[in-house]
Amino acid sequence: MKITIIGAGNVGASCASLLAQRNLVQKIVLLDIREKLSEGKSLDISQMLSMIESNTEVIGITKDYSQSKNSEIIIITCGIPRKPGMSRDDLVKTNSEIIRTVTKKSILFSPKSKFIIVSNPLDVMSYVSYMTAKVDSSRIIGMAGILDSARYRFFLSKKLNISPIDIQSLLLGGHGETMVPLYRYTSVSGIPIKEFLSEEENDEIIERTKKGGEQIVNLLGTSAWMAPSASVVKIVEAILKDSKRIFPCSVFLKGEYGLKNIYLGVPVVLGKTGVEKIVELKLNQKEKNLLKESANHVKSMINRLKKFDISY
């Protein structure tokens, strides 16, 4: 079994390292357009694996997509990262062209593969990959909600002085500042979050969560990579183990939540075929309005693709 990761930058290399440590597959191909980068990083990862008793083979490849042939999963992390002062939206034109190109090359050699999209702006890049690949939408999954939920749980744990492991949470909508908090669906070991803090206090935590990625960009001068990589591993594991885990992911909606022809974060069941079911929650009017606002923002970016003459 083989997984290909396209992009050997911080996120791609971290994904390769975490996946290899889990010993989930026989081979990981780390592919990049930059000479020697993927080869060097794969060599470093490979020399670590005997110490943690992993038999995964990690190889670095420059440009040669034929080496990705028959991959079970393809993880797309390439594209330009955010820099201080940039929003995810600022990356639309450049990254859409990159995602379109790598999707075309990848699907040629792995026509049955599932795709996990990590590149920003994530919901739009997932849409671009889907339109390019021309496969069932269940096979194109955007990693977003897992990361946003993890950040939310972290900030909640600090506020409440409890372990984030005991917090169950769910966020809907686009990856970014239009994410939709679901206060009613958040709990601590089954205890509703309202027993711990008010909705207004929770909204303050949500605002911190929305800016969680921006805070890291401002501190490091580039996008986060460890938490996003760990989020990808969650999706990969659910698919390979056919575990039927429910995670919030960016997926193609065909009328669910009253939305069509858009990639947006919603809870889904993940299994060996990819997205096996979209879970529709009964939202109240406030939640519906916020989700619609988030969807409109993503749609506006998708519409911008037409101005850039992005063809599929």
User: What are the residue numbers of the active site?
Assistant: 175
Tokens 């711990």, residue located: 196
CA 266, 271, 274 angle in degrees (round to 5)?
A: 65
SS3 36: coil
CA 111, 115, 116 angle in degrees (round to 5)?
A: 170
Please give the structure tokens belonging to residue 30: 């780390």
Q: In what order do the strands lie in the sheet with 187-188?
A: 167-168, 187-188, 191-192
**H helix or E strand, kind and range, residue 140:** strand 140-142
**CA–CA gap between residue 281 and residue 273 (Å, rounded):** 22
Burial of 302 (0-12, 13-18, 19+ CB in 10 A): buried
For residue 20, CA distances in Å to 16, 31, 126, 193, 203 come to 6, 15, 25, 36, 38
Which residue from 247, 224, 252, 227 is spatially nearest to 235, judged by alpha carbons?
247
DSSP 81: P
Beta carbons of 88 and 19 less than 8 angstroms apart:
no
